[in-house]
Amino acid sequence: MKKLVATNIRFPEEELIMYKRIALEKGESLSNFIRVTIRQKVKSIKKQSINKRDPIFNMKPGHSGISDGAKNHDKYIYR
């Protein structure tokens, strides 16, 4: 495991109580609950940003009418 570094994060009191309750119900520490939750959120954001930037993820299924699409697909997708 990587070295853990301490930091301070301020939460509204009601949120902190809720996070502690959830962590307790899951049987894990508050720190681990927060780390895992942040990792999941970052992973989701990265996946979304990759999909939005790459035109191949925004293509619609169906026939394009381009006769040499299989041969020159990069030319048409990334122009």
- In the prediction, which pLDDT does 76 show? 66
Mean pLDDT confidence for 67-79:
70
pLDDT tens, 24-65?
999 999 999 999 999 999 988 887 766 666 766 666 666 666
Q: Is the dihedral of CA 18, 19, 22, 28 positive or negative?
A: negative
Q: What is the mean pLDDT of residues 5-30?
A: 96
Confidence of residue 74 (pLDDT cuts 50, 70, 90): confident
Structure-block tokens of residue 3: 């070295």
